[in-house]
Amino acid sequence: MTTIAMKDSAMGALARRAVRDAFAKLSPREQAKNPVMLMVYLSAVLTLALFLLSLFGIADAAPGFILSVSAVLWLTVLFANFAEALAEGRGKAQADALREAKRDVEAHKLNEGLLAKGHHVDDPAEFFRIQSEEVDSAILKKKDLFFVMAGEQIPADGEIEMGAASVDESAITGESAPVIREAGGDRSAVTGGTTVLSDWLVVRVTAERGNSFLDQMIAMVESAARKKTPNEIALQILLVALTIVFLIVAVSLYAFSGFGASQEGVANPTSLTSLVALFVCLAPTTIGALLSAIGIAGMSRLNRANVLAMSGRAVEAAGDVDVLLLDKTGTITLGNRQAAEFIPVDGASERELADAAQLASLTDETPEGRSIVVLAKERFGIRARELAGAGMASIPFTAQTRMSGVDFEGHEIRKGAADAVKDYVESCGGVYSDECAGVVERVSRAGGTPLIVARDHRILGIVHLKDIVKQGIRENFADLRTMGIKTVMITGDNPMTAAAIAAEAGVDDFMAEATPESKLAAIRRYQAEGHLVAMTGDGTNDAPALAQADVAVAMNSGTQAAKEAGNMVDLDSSPTKLIDIVRIGKQLLMTRGSLTTFSIANDLAKYFAIVPALFVPLYPQLEALNIMHLTSPATAILAAVVYNAVVIVALIPLALRGVKYREATSQSLLARNLLVYGLGGIVLPFVAIKLLDMGLTALGVA
């Protein structure tokens, strides 16, 4: 209940802030940013001026009618401002939270020469602590060195030059689990505002003040910094063109009305206020009011997924992507090989093999070693032995021997790569049989890793280590295929292993023995064929391909070079996030398309509501078009403009939430869009305007 109350309180605060911002956005400068709503704003100003003139007897309609139309037009503008302000409010709330994490702290600045000396002292941490200069983090510049230890906040973005530490990045990612950051490799980048939990680091600053990663996040989540995307600009040009067309139509109708009145020898029954209302109702005001909110909300959904997009263009491009390049390890597979099967050879039993494999793995703390212990227990009930006092000597794995194992009760038990164990056995007079060689080849062809187990220089069999494909990933790829997206697995494995994993995962294609050059060449080849390509990466070697891709998602745990090359950063460092990003991008495009369809379909009903009511007095034949049988011109016009304003408020939740995402072909999505939002956009206003007309009539409006 407390959580619900807090959530309601936050929503209430967001709504109150949006109401204030809606009035603040009434300035002409703010309204000029949206040409469609600018015309509504000018129409509201015009009708207000007409009302003031009517107080002095200078008007062509009743003052009450003019005031009612003017009030509704002002509400229309305010509702549009409220929709945009509400969408912006989410980003501002997130930016406020990020600003709390961004503060100046005390930094331990180091001179350049101290780094080399630190490698040759017994206690580098104490050396750097004593030799460092205490400064305010605000004065740190790019390429400066600083020292940070457990319990301290990292003062600036940088690359680790020395040390390894556990870092709390919850202020940035929202994840409470700490991560390991260390010098060298692809996990050497740290972010200002995060906290070191253990050990120490020497870091080189990579960003000038005001250009840090946290600064970029704040700027991007602030909706005011969001630039319009090419598709959004194109749609706005279309809406402006339609608005101009309907402005010409309204002016032309006034001329026709004046001509008809002169022919009949009567005063022109069509007032300027009525024509202004007609223009506002026929112009695409609904989508014009919600267009900015839709784009901002799409960025906000991406931010809530812990992805920082460097531009709205990248979000839209994600919606148009038709080729995904995905790393195998950590994306398609779990990343840790698991023991899947014991395969005995040369007369050994499976239990004998399992027992020896478990013994050799008792001191192996790798995921592969632990999985062997678990599999032996599950298959044969073999429980791990107590090491204390057992006379067991552990033989650790080394890059030279490529084997590990134990000496236990007079027995030598070893496990390792096929060629390493083969050399070990044969050097001691043992035999590497054809049966063993055949099993090794079969496991390799199946995409697994063969791990040979030997006892006393006799091969007992092979442990099949399998790179486990993530549960549900095949279904994900099937959904993407339905959407017309091709999936390509990238791996450094040999072609035989890559083919087996690709078949099991259900990807459309794979790239084996991938290098930075081959990744870049593949992206260029797909782009030359007219495809939009997305990929993920975290290392410096991924930077060229990330820079080339249309949608490039860099891992937050990756190097600075990778993050600078990408146009999105995944704060969770989850390679599978690319699939979610594509869905969010497509949902953004679907929402915009659906509400555009609905808005334009609305105009048909408004046409039937207002045009007959305006011109029936001059052209009685138009009564046939009054299919809603509205009471009078006044009630018809007021009902139409009220509906035009209220529908904006009604659609705000949909604009912010987005239409429900479905994996389907573009043809089926178009058909559904036309049925639900096209037909619905025609039927709903007919019903709503009729009900509003009846209500206005009951209130005595004639």
pLDDT digits (tens, 9 = 90+) for 252-269: 877 777 776 666 665 566
Secondary-structure class of domain 334-468 per CATH: alpha beta
SS3 (DSSP) at 340: strand
From the list 324, 320, 229, 314, the residue with the least C-alpha distance to 533 is: 324
Q: Is 415 annotated as a binding residue?
A: yes
User: Do the annotations mark residue 401 as ligand-binding?
Assistant: yes
pLDDT at 536 over 60: yes
Q: Using one digit for the tens of pLDDT, what is the confidence trace for 262-296? A: 666 655 667 888 889 889 988 899 998 998 888 88
With beta carbons less than 8 A apart as the criterion, state whether 622 and 551 touch.
Answer: no
Q: Is 594 annotated as a binding residue?
A: no
Q: What is the pLDDT of residues 301-351, one digit of tens each?
A: 887 788 877 766 778 788 888 898 887 766 677 666 788 899 999 999 999
- 0.85 exceeded by pTM: no
Domain with CATH 3.40.1110.10 in the chain: 334-468
| Intervals of CATH 2.70.150.10 along the chain | 106-154+157-206
517 is in an annotated binding site: no
pLDDT at 172: 64
Residue range 106-154+157-206, CATH number: 2.70.150.10
**pLDDT for the residue numbered 220:** 56
What is the pLDDT, as a whole number, of residue 76? Answer: 94
527 among annotated binding-site residues = no
622-652 residue pLDDT tens: 777 778 888 888 888 899 999 999 999 999 9
Query: Is 404 part of any known ligand binding site?
Result: yes
31 is in an annotated binding site: no
The annotation status of 403 as a binding-site residue, yes or no, is yes
H-assigned helices in 179-229 = 213-221
Is 665 flagged in the annotation as binding? no
pLDDT class of 9 with cuts at 50, 70, 90: low
| Enzyme catalytic residues | 327
CA distances from 158 to 182, 183, 209, 452, 559 (A): 12, 11, 12, 43, 10
Domain 307-332+470-571 fold: Rossmann fold (3.40.50)
What digits encode the pLDDT tens for the residues 46-90? Answer: 999 999 998 888 877 888 999 999 999 999 999 999 988 887 776
Residue 418 CB-half CA count within 13 A? 21
For the chain, residues classed under CATH 3.40.50.1000 are 307-332+470-571
Please tell me the distance from the alpha carbon of residue 606 to that of residue 140, in angstroms, as a whole number. Answer: 62
Report which secondary-structure segment, H or E, holds 326: strand 323-327
Which is nearest to 582 in space by CA: 669, 465, 694, 476?
476
Percent of the chain with pLDDT over 70: 87
Handedness of CA 490, 491, 495, 497 (dihedral sign): negative
